[in-house]
Structure 1
Amino acid sequence: MAVKLDLLTPGIEVGLVTTNLDAMVAFYEGFLELECQGELDFPGGSQRRYTLGNGVLKLVTYSPPPPQPAAQGGGRTQAGVRYFTIGVKNLRAVAATVEMSEYRIVEPVTEFAPVPGMGWMFIADPDGNWIELFGTL
């Protein structure tokens, strides 16, 4: 038997658990300029919520913090959820901005062979989580 989801919201919410909140806020709010929706406390922790298109990115902290650090790297390092994707315009300009920053490109801009003018790249946040950026070159 299958479950049909009757969606309450049109997007997905992604939670990134961190023990490095200040650096993560500097990256997502300061560098990527995501709009902060506010903070939400819950028993044993809190989340800082950001608008991301129709979705929400949540920076989650727990008290006490998790005993294991974030597993760094993308899909080539281990199985499981290893990256999320954001579609952008002018990918080469975004890459140039990242190159001039303290943040790192972990896979350079690559043009989609079957779709000229479109490409992708991966960057890493301060915890080592990978973000795929794709879009027009």
Structure 2
Amino acid sequence: MSVLINKAAIDLGIITRDAEPMLMFYRDLLGLEVEGVIPMPSGGTMHRLKVGESIVKIVQLDREPPADAPPGGIPGATGYRYWTIHISNLAAVVQVCEQAGHKVIVPPKVIRPGVTIAMVVDPDGNWVELLQAD
């Protein structure tokens, strides 16, 4: 049996201990549009931000999780370690991130002809790959 996909995108949930710095990064700095804010059934708040057809869900629970994900991005541990946003103004976005004090793990670099990436770190230490294809 195959999964019958009915949306041309995926949604990503990021659990955080403090939603405000995460919103300042994703909503205010990167400019992701707020689709909505909804209560979590188990207690807490989900902030839904649009990335094309995808949604990034920034979730702060009423009861803090007992552990944090291991830091270090790609080489730090197994499991989900980064995600990618396809953009058309890579150099400008990286500059804005740097000026706002966010760590740039991988400065803009061509990884294959016509494709340039950079990796930045959000306030919780999650790695975000920014990709520009010519």
- The TM-score with structure 1 as length reference comes to 0.88
Q: Which residue of 2 aligns with 1:67?
A: 66
Percent identity over the alignment is 31
Residue aligned with 2:65, SS: coil
The structure-2 alpha-carbon separation of the partners of 1:23 and 1:101, relative to structure 1 and needing over 3 Å to count, comes to same
Cα deviations across residues 28-56 of structure 1 (Å, max 9, x unaligned)? 11101100011121222321101101110
Query: How much has 1:7 moved relative to structure 2?
Result: 2.3
* RMSD value, Cα: 1.6
C-alpha distance in 1 between matches for 2:54 and 2:107? 25
Query: How much has 1:75 moved relative to structure 2?
Result: 1.2
**Greater than 6 Å deviation, 4+ residue runs:** none
More helix by percentage: 2
Q: Which residue of 1 aligns with 2:26?
A: 28
Residue aligned with 1:86, SS: strand
Q: Which residue of 2 aligns with 1:43?
A: 41
Amino acid at match of 2:5: L
C-alpha distance in 2 between matches for 1:111 and 1:10? 27
C-alpha distance in 2 between matches for 1:20 and 1:106? 22
Residue aligned with 1:76, SS: helix
**Would the aligned equivalents of 2:14 and 2:58 in 1 still touch at CA under 8 Å?**
yes
Q: Which residue of 2 aligns with 1:108?
A: 107
C-alpha distance in 1 between matches for 2:76 and 2:69? 12
- The TM-score with structure 2 as length reference comes to 0.90
Residue aligned with 1:75, SS: helix
Cα deviations across residues 3-50 of structure 1 (Å, max 9, x unaligned)? 322223221000000001111111111101100011121222321101
Q: How many residues align?
A: 133
Q: Which residue of 2 aligns with 1:133?
A: 130
* Residue 3 of structure 2 corresponds to residue 5 of structure 1: yes
Cα deviations across residues 55-111 of structure 1 (Å, max 9, x unaligned)? 100001222110112432211100000010011113222222222222121111111
Residue aligned with 2:73, SS: coil
Amino acid at match of 2:16: T
Amino acid at match of 2:118: M
Q: Which residue of 1 aligns with 2:120?
A: 123
| Structure 1: tracts of 5 or more residues without a match | none
Query: How much has 1:136 moved relative to structure 2?
Result: 4.2
| Structure 2: tracts of 5 or more residues without a match | none
C-alpha distance in 1 between matches for 2:68 and 2:24? 19
